[in-house]
Structure 1
Amino acid sequence: MSKPLAVAAPSPLIRPASPRRTLIAVALGNWLELYDFTVFSFFAMLIGKLYFPSDSEYGSLLMALATFGIGFVVRPLGGLAIGRIADRSGRKPALTLTIWLMAAGTALIGLAPTHADIGVAAPLLIVAGRLLQGFAAGGEIGASTSYLMEFAPKSRRGFMVSWQTATQGAAVLVGAASGALLTALLTVDALESWGWRLPFLFGLLIGPLGLYIRGQLDETHRPEASRQPGLLRLASKHRRTLLLGSMLVMGMSANTYVIANYMPSYLSKVLHMPPSSALLSGCAAGLMMLLASPPAGWLADRLRRRKPLLLAVNTLLLLLTLPCFALLLGEPTLRNALLLATLLTTILALGCPAGFLLVMEALPRHGRATGLAVVYACGVTVFGGFAQFIVTWLISVSGDPLAPAWYAMACTGLSLLALILFHERPAAEAD
């Protein structure tokens, strides 16, 4: 890492001329990328069967979920590399690059021949596709969320940043809905032969739309070489923020991937619900994340401090997760599955915008995209990305169907501890 030059005066912040156009451009581009990245989890059981054949009950699913998690391993690298581009060259070129990388990874997955066709090369193609997707997703969060924050006036930062989590909800909703629709309409043979590829090809075909949208964005950050800190300097000066921020993200991420992404596989594999019904829980979780995030951002803007809201959210998740799963196990109906997904996702969504703001406002603007990308990627990589693999493995070795609840609660508890220790920077002081 090159040694940074002396610090110059702060570079001016560039305000886009059209707030509505800019919000739509960032939100739609973010949704397109996150859809491509998350749709994999809703076809994990089928991908496991076609690309990771196994004789054990959970073997194929575990391998598919591990492959889903592999995409998160390179997220810190993507966050660092693309975050540096965003801080050095501007947010716009970084956002455009992530679209190209995500499209390449999606193409590899959607077009890959199966294990029956080309043998061991097939799962290698899937892994390569997930690595590309993960690298792109690692840079997307930092660049797009920093863009939304810097674009907004300080009194509306929470509302603008909330569209980051709202588009995550929209991605989950569309991914789960596509799975439910295809499962309900197609025969098993058709779904295994070509139907499962359609959501990936859809994501690939709309990639050019994402490129066009990102091309219309104005720049919010005018970088100056003298203002760009090296990673070591950023880590040295803000190591407490980076560490505690990663722990805070860990809880949000673990709950998101257990409740929204893993639940359809859990309902189908463990509770033996029909796949088309099980996928509706993913739809419910995505819908509530989409609907609850903007009001949560509005609420964060009206609070003088973010931490009390986040403390309440994490405490509620800690108290309600186990009873919700126990209710579902006692009466494994679609109604109870939808109740669990709706209640826990709504609570989770209430804290997400405030969580993003808490971390971003503690970081300097000239290193914000890099810092947030690394915080988010590190917090998500193991505890979120591998959450589905971990809880499936725990169920397979322990036989305890409450393993997802215990795992989510453990991560929430650690995030609660990090939140207590986190030093909140007043919003009025954040640049």
Structure 2
Amino acid sequence: MISLSKRFMPALLAAFLLLPLPAAGGIAGVQDYFFDRFDTDLHGFIEARGGLRLDREEDQRDASIGEARLQLDFSRWLGDGELRLKTDLLADGVMEELRFELREANYDFSPHPDLDVRLGRQVLTWGTGDLLFINDVFAKDWESFFIGRDDEYLKKASDAVRLGIFAGPVNLDLVYVPLVTHSNYIDGSRLSYWHGGQQRIAGRDQIARDKSRNRVFRDSETALRLYRQQGSIEYALYGYYGFWSTPEGMDPDSGRLIYPRLGVYGASVRGPLLGGISNLEVGYYHSLDDTSGRDPLIRNSEWRLLAGHERELARDLTAGLQYYLERKVQYNNYLASLPPGAPAADHNRHLLTLRLTRLLLQQNLTLSLFVYWSPSDQDGHLRPKANYKISDQLAVEAGANLFRGSRDHTFWGQFEDNSNVYLGLRRTF
């Protein structure tokens, strides 16, 4: 990681944007060279994004995002499998650093007609929710999600082995991660958050610190999915053994956040209903380091439920609705364990979401709105966005992250001062 002076950032952003458009002798020439010389496909994009907070905070920067990104995506067939490498070079003007990110580096092959294997760094995802996750417990990047990066960056990659077994009436996905991948949570360095210990909103004046698990094979994750397609309906069972992906505990000796052990067991069903697609998903989060719910420093076990429906309302207009529930287990023990004066979470947290998507101008303009609203917490998050394709290679995007809440300690309410707007320009090749 290289530290950058602020005065060099505008020039660096301009340099990314002024790279040549795909044309003979430009990026297309580089693509042709890789294909001819190494039999390798090369794709990617060049992007610049900038954004501002809507509310000024003394302990945070006015800019929510200001960065340039170059992504290169290589793929090549080797023997009986495909090798893929996806890398990002990011110039981050807000954090004043230049960093290299290895997004994917894996080899995909099939040693048997009924077996697929993927080895290496990869993005892991399953489940039925739309920006809501129950049995998808794999690592996320919540900071990227809240500052206006592309939705691709919500998911973090893991160094894993994934097996797909297709034999008999039921298929099996099995994932093993030798060293758990933690989510990128809100720690105060860029976005403010609710500090439970100090009972206030904290930012750069109180950056959260954690104790990352770092013992390979001992701090591992194992996940499986059994699924079956029967007609147009898919059924699935899930299992997970590992750790909370965000730090849901605290070490009383050091005061650092920790990642307690976690088991997750769930099921889902998805298929056509009432002129659209419906889904139902359930999961039990077993907090293995506090099964009684009496430890105030570790998150309780909980049940989670998700029901959703999506359908086309008119030509080029779709809508999706979801209901989500978190229900704490051992709630009375949780209440008894709270320190005096600490706000208590509700026994049941209800959350509703709405997604509207409209395509215009021969589908070159995409208008979308995603709304989270919790009637129990009285808080929410709005994500309006517009994306316009200027050409096959060039697109511009504008959007916002708007947070509202009546209480500082609720999930969305804690982020109210982080509301922001952003603008992005991307060239693909």
Please classify the TM superposition score into its range, dividing by the shorter chain length: under 0.3
With normalisation by structure 1, the TM-score equals 0.24
Bigger radius of gyration: 2
User: By percentage of residues, which structure has more strand?
Assistant: 2
